[in-house]
A and B are shown apart, each in its own frame.
Chain A
């Protein structure tokens, strides 16, 4: 039996230990804000936080998630919109929106590490997340806005 915490709630899981966290979140817990995009950690649509750090849930097995604290997009606005979400809305980042949960989770993680990220920091931090609609320049602007540094 695997134990873990998801969005502050203690959970136990007795399924296949090689199941990726992504499908546990989506199919079993019904937390569909985290998206499936590639299954190989190539696109970042499935990004969640594990013990505060951005990870790709599509290649994080339940075994590796055991004992950790997982936070998904659903929890980010649990106590009001996060500054990153506010910035995303101000800049009107999304087009289709499908990748944006992962982008936001990645951006929050980036800003936790670098409070005033440079362009290079943003490139380095965000280039693992694909947006096929091509909202990158708005993502960059929103990250700068959230960092309190208007683009």
Chain B
């Protein structure tokens, strides 16, 4: 599927790389030259952004590697180039990482779904391996020796017999004349020879971040640019009736106001509409906005009240719904009796609240658009601007600076389209800066969900029947307003993939209408599905009078591959084949046992008000078990002194970055479990900033999260998201152990723990 072509003989070398440089591109490159341009015009800047290929080796020995995925904190911008550098046998200190623009030649650039390493591990090592072989062949040719006698040391080809050595830079010109070897010719390094993979490197941008030099989307600047702050319709789909066109112009620095039309449904990635205040600086734009006095026709979503909606979801969850997975005969098994347990769970809407709100700078001129956007998907920026401005996709160039967090919000490019529309209207480059209030009010929210759970426990305390039903507005409503049922992609996430060894099991789902924009949030449907399933599993353990860890292992059952297609034919397995990525209960068992052992489960003396809880979950093809330890004092105040998370993500390229991801996931999980709640009154979101939508601060976060990575040679899986789902149920299971109080509705801030 990945062809590798040598494009170095073509005329693309007008950018960073000097003539004779060896350049390889992978993944079906149609060899179209893309002219690099950058805000500042220095040659070095142009080199850094030159995006026509994945890899270049320059005659001075500099290795350029393209990072085509967005960097929002997962370190993929470092880790993927590191894979390439490994097989190239490059010296990392001589590698320059260049961020790609949006271009379909790179394949998917949608940096979500925790699949950067999973999908691009092989293409990167093939590119590196092919280049290394070409350099070896170039050296063999120059020295007149068989290529089999040559090998590499970092950045150097060596011939042991004669002691000859040549640097990659010296060999680049000769190597560029050779045909690119086929994949079958490549000899990959044995893992014992790895210098980088499995050992990792700190972020390529570490020093720049720590010194304030790193450039985020918020930091993009252009000559002659103006700033925009946009008043959006307070209710989704609302239309502007009137506003004060004059008062904003009284504010010093305000230049003009521009109306952006409300979208035609479905909203998809279109701008919401509203009134933009254009000014000389961000502050003037924000201040001018306060003078707009807009009057809106709020439309049908003004009838949305989340408190009422919650009751409707819960009622729906009590009625039979469509089965997405069916195994054995659940109804017959319930009819046979046993100890019946029922429980209902609820998780509200959540907002992403990345530290950098949505921001984009766009420059429209002469039918072309150049954008700098904090986007997880520059190709979708191209698409939405193409759609909105009627320019061809090739006329839209999207640069991707660092993202100040993303968590799924920045996969949607509505804000970049706003900047492009405004730039065309005002004749300047326009930087659109969303305020925190804009970000919280107008998010693509994590959906709201209600779950109903029922089990019959047999005489040994294990379930003979298990029924689970979830109800939530689907992400599909963002693309089709009439979508009423969840897709298989949402139901695979912790619902149809339940690994428990229960003979009779059914997973059901019912849809609901959406009244706000729904989108992906870090680990998506896994959040509420895992909360319900892993909390309920713990309720069963308690009802059976058994230890939580021992019971969870018994539920998972013996080591086996779950034949998931038999009971859930539509199960998509995150796009991975079940042959390569089976649902393997041995791996569930291993992470449970590891997390339990490392946490001191069953060995620690716990005082009054202290408790430990466990949950296990597979998402994005990675297995995670989390043990949370809590303290709840007499006032009901919660402290989380320690978390132990065991991770089996297959081969881990960058262990330290992976640990950082799972430490962060524990904090992210703490935020959503303790505080996360978006509500709406008359269609208007009630929360607006970190006072009304709090996220964990240092004193509220786990004090210590220990991440235990399972050594594995299995194919790499995701690490950005999988730490989140097991956290909330593990926390609530720990609270139950500490206090006897079972929390079935999030956030905890609504629960009385005293």
What residues of A have a CB within 8 angstroms of the CB of B704 in the complex?
137
CA distance A89 to B670 in the complex (A): 26
A137–B702 CB distance below 8 A? yes
Quick one: which of B677-691 are within 8 Å of A by CB? 689-691
What residues of A have a CB within 8 angstroms of the CB of B428 in the complex?
none
What residues of A have a CB within 8 angstroms of the CB of B435 in the complex?
39
CA distance A20 to B221 in the complex (A): 19
A55 within 8 A of B: no
Quick one: which of B693-742 are within 8 Å of A by CB? 695-705
CA distance A119 to B91 in the complex (A): 40
What residues of B have a CB within 8 angstroms of the CB of A39 in the complex?
286, 435-436, 689
What residues of B have a CB within 8 angstroms of the CB of A15 in the complex?
252-253
B209–A35 CB distance below 8 A? no
A100–B663 CB distance below 8 A? no
Contact of A72 among B202, B206, B212, B657 (CB under 8 A): B212
Contact of A130 among B253, B282, B403, B690 (CB under 8 A): B690
B356–A35 CB distance below 8 A? yes
B213–A33 CB distance below 8 A? yes
Quick one: which of A111-147 are within 8 Å of B by CB? 119, 122-123, 126-140
B696 CB, nearest partner CB in chain A, Å: 7
A8 within 8 A of B: no
A36–B218 CB distance below 8 A? yes
What residues of A have a CB within 8 angstroms of the CB of B218 in the complex?
32, 35-36, 98
Quick one: which of B95-144 are within 8 Å of A by CB? none
A92–B211 CB distance below 8 A? no
Which of B406, B665, B696, B697 counts the most chain A CB atoms within 10 A?
Answer: B697
A133–B283 CB distance below 8 A? no
A128 CB, nearest partner CB in chain B, Å: 8
Q: Is the interface of B mostly helix, strand, loop or mixed?
A: loop
A96–B221 CB distance below 8 A? no
Q: Mark A92-104, 1 if CB is under 8 A from B, else 0.
A: 1111111111001
Please judge, given known A-B contacts A96-B72, A134-B696, whether A40 and B212 are in contact too, CB under 8 Å. no
What residues of A have a CB within 8 angstroms of the CB of B526 in the complex?
none
Please judge, given known A-B contacts A30-B221, A96-B73, whether A43 and B405 are in contact too, CB under 8 Å. no
What residues of B have a CB within 8 angstroms of the CB of A126 in the complex?
698
Quick one: which of B643-674 are within 8 Å of A by CB? 656-657, 660-661, 663-668, 670-671
B210–A133 CB distance below 8 A? no
Contact of B207 among A89, A119, A127, A136 (CB under 8 A): A89
What residues of B have a CB within 8 angstroms of the CB of A129 in the complex?
697-698
B221–A135 CB distance below 8 A? no
A137–B203 CB distance below 8 A? no
B210–A89 CB distance below 8 A? yes
Contact of A97 among B209, B666, B668, B670 (CB under 8 A): B209
Contact of A133 among B286, B402, B405, B699 (CB under 8 A): B405
B708 CB, nearest partner CB in chain A, Å: 15
B202–A92 CB distance below 8 A? yes
What residues of A have a CB within 8 angstroms of the CB of B216 in the complex?
32, 35, 97-98
B380 within 8 A of A: no
What residues of B have a CB within 8 angstroms of the CB of A133 in the complex?
73, 355, 405, 664, 667-668
Please judge, given known A-B contacts A26-B282, A96-B402, A135-B663, whether A42 and B227 are in contact too, CB under 8 Å. no
Q: Is the interface of A mostly helix, strand, loop or mixed?
A: loop
A34–B212 CB distance below 8 A? yes
CA distance A102 to B283 in the complex (A): 20
B219 within 8 A of A: yes
B214 within 8 A of A: yes
Which of B283, B666, B702 counts the most chain A CB atoms within 10 A?
Answer: B283
B656–A92 CB distance below 8 A? yes
Contact of A42 among B202, B405, B691, B700 (CB under 8 A): B691
A73 within 8 A of B: yes
How many residues of B are in contact with the other chain, CB < 8 A? 70
CA distance A136 to B666 in the complex (A): 11
Contact of B281 among A23, A38, A98, A123 (CB under 8 A): A23
Please judge, given known A-B contacts A35-B355, A134-B696, A136-B698, whether A95 and B661 are in contact too, CB under 8 Å. yes
B215 within 8 A of A: yes
B539 within 8 A of A: no
B284 within 8 A of A: yes
B174 within 8 A of A: no
Please judge, given known A-B contacts A36-B433, A42-B690, whether A89 and B202 are in contact too, CB under 8 Å. yes
Quick one: which of A1-38 are within 8 Å of B by CB? 15-16, 19-20, 23, 26-28, 30, 32-38
What residues of B have a CB within 8 angstroms of the CB of A43 in the complex?
355, 436, 690
What residues of A have a CB within 8 angstroms of the CB of B354 in the complex?
96, 98, 132
Which of A38, A72, A127, A135 counts the most chain B CB atoms within 10 A?
Answer: A38
A130–B355 CB distance below 8 A? yes
What residues of A have a CB within 8 angstroms of the CB of B705 in the complex?
137
A38–B207 CB distance below 8 A? no
Quick one: which of B426-481 are within 8 Å of A by CB? 433, 435-436
What residues of B have a CB within 8 angstroms of the CB of A95 in the complex?
73-75, 660-661, 664
Which of B72, B215, B404, B657 counts the most chain A CB atoms within 10 A?
Answer: B404
What residues of A have a CB within 8 angstroms of the CB of B252 in the complex?
15-16
CA distance A104 to B287 in the complex (A): 30
B353 within 8 A of A: yes
Residue of B nearest to A84 (CB): B210
CA distance A33 to B219 in the complex (A): 8
What residues of A have a CB within 8 angstroms of the CB of B205 in the complex?
97
Please judge, given known A-B contacts A97-B205, A98-B355, A98-B404, whether A38 and B282 are in contact too, CB under 8 Å. no
Residue of A nearest to B280 (CB): A27
CA distance A76 to B356 in the complex (A): 22
CA distance A33 to B73 in the complex (A): 17
Quick one: which of A55-78 are within 8 Å of B by CB? 72-74, 76-77
Quick one: which of B596-653 are within 8 Å of A by CB? none
Please judge, given known A-B contacts A43-B355, A139-B698, whether A134 and B666 are in contact too, CB under 8 Å. yes
A54 within 8 A of B: no
Q: Mark B402-422, 1 if CB is under 8 A from A, else 0.
A: 111111000000000000000
CA distance A98 to B216 in the complex (A): 8
B215–A32 CB distance below 8 A? yes
B698–A97 CB distance below 8 A? no
What residues of B have a CB within 8 angstroms of the CB of A36 in the complex?
218, 282, 356-357, 433
Please judge, given known A-B contacts A35-B404, A133-B405, A137-B705, whether A23 and B282 are in contact too, CB under 8 Å. yes
CA distance A139 to B283 in the complex (A): 31
What residues of B have a CB within 8 angstroms of the CB of A96 in the complex?
71-73, 354-356, 402-406
A38–B433 CB distance below 8 A? no
Q: Mark B334-351, 1 if CB is under 8 A from A, else 0.
A: 000000000000000000
Which of A101, A127, A129, A134 counts the most chain B CB atoms within 10 A?
Answer: A134
Contact of A27 among B213, B282, B287, B405 (CB under 8 A): B282
B430 CB, nearest partner CB in chain A, Å: 13
A74 CB, nearest partner CB in chain B, Å: 5
Please judge, given known A-B contacts A27-B282, A135-B664, whether A127 and B697 are in contact too, CB under 8 Å. yes
Q: Can you pick out 7 interface pairs between chain A and chain B where the beta carbons lie within 8 Å of each other?
A: A28-B281, A36-B356, A43-B436, A96-B406, A99-B404, A126-B698, A132-B355
Q: Please name the 4 residue pairs, one residue from A and one from B, whose CB atoms are nearest each other, closest first.
A: A33-B212, A134-B667, A98-B404, A96-B73
User: Residues of B with Cβ closer than 8 Å to A?
Assistant: 71-75, 202-203, 205-207, 209-216, 218-219, 221, 227, 252-253, 281-284, 286-287, 353-357, 402-407, 433, 435-436, 656-657, 660-661, 663-668, 670-671, 689-691, 695-705
